[in-house]
C-alpha cells in the first residue's frame, strides 16, 4: 500500500483556494463595471467604421463585423395610400405621372404612375437645397466664383442667376439663387463650398436619398441637367419636397417670392431674384367648390419648377389649405402653362371639388420668359 503524500494534498488545497479567490475578485470587477471598457472600445470602432481605422486587434475587428448584421436599415419615408385614395383621372391632363400627398398625415390622396421613373430636371435642386442647408453652419460664409465654375454652365446653356467669375457671395445667396430662379451657378457654388466639388456633393445627395429610404432615385449632378443615369419618380420627389419643407431654412427658401443677393463689385445693387413658381402661378387660383372663385384659405405657397428637352415640364408645389399642407408633383407636362393647369385640376378635383377651368380670364395667358430666357425650367 502506497503512503499518502500529505504535503502534496495540502498544496492542492492551497491552489484551489487561490483559484476561488481569483474567481470571486473577477466577479466583483464585473459587477462594478471594470470590464465594460472593452465594450466601449467596440462601440468606438463601430462609430468609426467608415473612417480610416486606427490600430486595433483582429479580435476587435471581428467583433465589429459581428455587429454589422444588426445595423438598422434606412427608415422608409414613403407616404401610404389614404383610405379614400383615388387614381387620378382628369380629361385633358398632359402629365405622364402625378401624385397628391397630404404632407401632414403622409398619405397619398390621389396618384397616377407615381412610381414610374422619370427625368426630374431642376426638381433635383430641392435635394441640393436640403443637403446644403443641413451642412452649412454659417449662412453668411462666402464663396468666390471662378471661370471654371461659370464657363461650363454657359456652354451647357444652363439656367443661371447671373453670378460672374471673381464674384464673392454668401451661402444664403446661393440657396435662394438655386431655387427661386433655378440657378445652376447657385448649385455649383453650394456643391463646391460644402463638399469641395460637385462629384463629392453628389455623394452626399445620394447618401441623403438612402437615408430617406428612396428606391427610385439616383442623381449624378446637383443641378438636374439631363443625364440618362439621373432619374427619380413623382413619389420620390414628393418625399424630397416634404423633407425640405420640414427643414426651416429650406421652407423659407421654397416659399419665398423674391430675394436680392448681396451687393458686390460685379452687382452693386445685388441681383433681384423672382420665384419662377410665383411667376408661373400668377393669375391662377384653386376653386374646389366650383363657384368660380378662389376658395378662402387655400393657396399655393411655393415649390420648384423643372425643364429639359427630355424631361419636359416638371413641377412640385406646396399648397396650404387653411393650415393643412399638401404636396403635388407632376412630370412631363406638355408646356409650362399645362404643368400649372395639370396641378390646379388635381388640387380642385381631389381636395373635394370639381376639376374646372379656373384661369383668371383677366390675367395674361402667355408667360413672359424674357427675363428668364436661359432658365431650363
Does residue 137 sit in helix, strand or coil?
Answer: coil
What would the grid cell of residue 353 be? 371639388
Q: Give every CB contact of residue 375 below 8 A, 6+ residues apart in sequence.
A: 159, 181, 182, 276, 307, 369
Residues tagged active-site: 122, 125, 182
Residues 6 or more apart from 200 whose CB is under 8 A from it? 191
Interatomic CA distance for residues 128 and 133, integer angstroms: 8
CA distance 301 to 308: 24
CA distances from 109 to 46, 249, 297, 358 (A): 41, 27, 19, 21
DSSP string, 179-220: HHS--HHHHHHHHHHHHSSHHHHHHHHHHHHHHTT-SS-B-S
Sorted by sequence, the CB contacts under 8 Å of residue 277 that are 6+ apart come out as 300, 302, 303, 304, 305, 315, 317
Report whether 172 belongs to an annotated binding site.
no
Which of 301, 257, 294 has the alpha carbon at shortest distance from 279?
Answer: 257
Nearest-angstrom CA–CA distance, 217 and 11: 74
Residue 103 has a CB neighbour count (10 Å cut-off) of 18
Q: Is the dihedral of CA 80, 231, 88, 320 positive or negative?
A: positive
Q: Name the binding residues.
A: 304
Q: Name the binding residues for substrate.
A: 304
Amino acid at each position: 500500500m502506497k503512503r499518502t503524500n500529505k504535503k502534496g494534498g495540502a498544496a492542492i488545497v492551497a491552489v484551489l483556494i487561490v483559484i476561488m479567490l481569483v474567481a470571486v475578485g473577477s466577479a466583483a470587477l464585473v459587477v462594478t463595471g471594470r470590464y465594460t471598457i472593452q465594450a466601449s472600445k467596440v462601440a468606438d470602432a463601430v462609430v468609426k467604421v467608415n473612417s480610416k481605422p486606427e490600430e486595433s486587434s483582429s479580435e476587435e475587428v471581428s467583433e465589429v463585423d459581428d455587429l454589422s448584421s444588426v445595423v438598422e436599415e434606412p427608415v422608409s419615408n414613403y407616404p401610404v395610400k389614404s383610405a379614400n385614395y383615388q387614381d387620378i383621372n382628369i380629361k385633358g391632363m398632359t402629365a405622364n405621372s402625378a401624385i397628391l400627398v397630404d404632407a401632414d398625415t403622409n398619405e397619398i390622396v390621389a396618384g397616377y404612375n407615381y412610381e414610374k421613373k422619370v427625368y426630374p430636371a431642376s426638381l433635383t435642386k430641392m435635394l441640393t437645397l436640403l443637403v446644403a442647408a443641413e451642412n452649412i453652419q454659417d449662412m453668411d460664409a462666402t464663396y468666390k466664383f471662378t471661370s471654371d465654375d461659370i464657363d461650363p454652365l454657359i456652354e451647357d446653356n444652363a439656367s443661371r442667376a447671373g453670378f460672374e467669375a471673381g464674384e464673392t457671395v454668401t451661402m444664403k445667396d446661393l440657396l435662394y439663387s438655386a431655387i427661386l430662379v433655378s440657378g445652376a451657378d447657385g448649385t455649383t457654388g453650394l456643391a463646391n463650398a460644402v463638399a469641395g466639388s460637385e462629384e463629392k456633393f453628389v455623394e452626399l445627395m445620394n447618401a441623403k436619398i438612402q437615408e430617406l429610404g428612396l428606391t427610385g432615385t439616383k442623381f449624378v449632378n446637383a443641378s438636374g441637367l439631363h443625364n440618362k443615369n439621373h432619374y427619380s419618380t413623382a413619389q420620390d420627389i414628393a418625399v424630397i419636397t416634404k423633407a425640405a419643407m420640414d427643414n426651416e431654412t429650406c421652407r423659407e427658401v421654397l416659399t419665398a417670392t423674391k430675394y436680392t443677393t448681396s451687393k458686390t463689385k460685379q452687382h452693386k445693387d445685388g441681383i433681384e431674384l423672382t420665384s419662377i413658381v410665383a411667376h408661373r402661378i400668377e393669375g391662377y387660383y384653386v376653386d374646389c367648390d366650383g363657384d368660380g372663385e378662389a376658395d378662402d384659405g387655400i393657396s399655393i405657397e411655393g415649390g420648384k419648377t423643372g425643364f429639359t428637352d427630355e424631361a419636359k415640364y416638371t413641377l412640385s408645389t406646396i399648397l396650404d389649405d387653411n393650415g393643412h399642407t399638401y404636396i403635388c408633383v407632376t412630370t412631363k407636362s406638355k408646356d409650362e402653362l399645362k404643368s400649372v393647369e395639370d396641378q390646379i385640376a388635381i388640387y380642385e378635383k381631389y381636395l373635394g371639388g370639381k376639376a374646372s377651368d379656373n384661369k383668371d380670364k383677366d390675367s395674361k395667358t402667355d408667360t413672359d420668359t424674357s427675363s428668364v430666357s436661359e432658365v431650363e425650367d
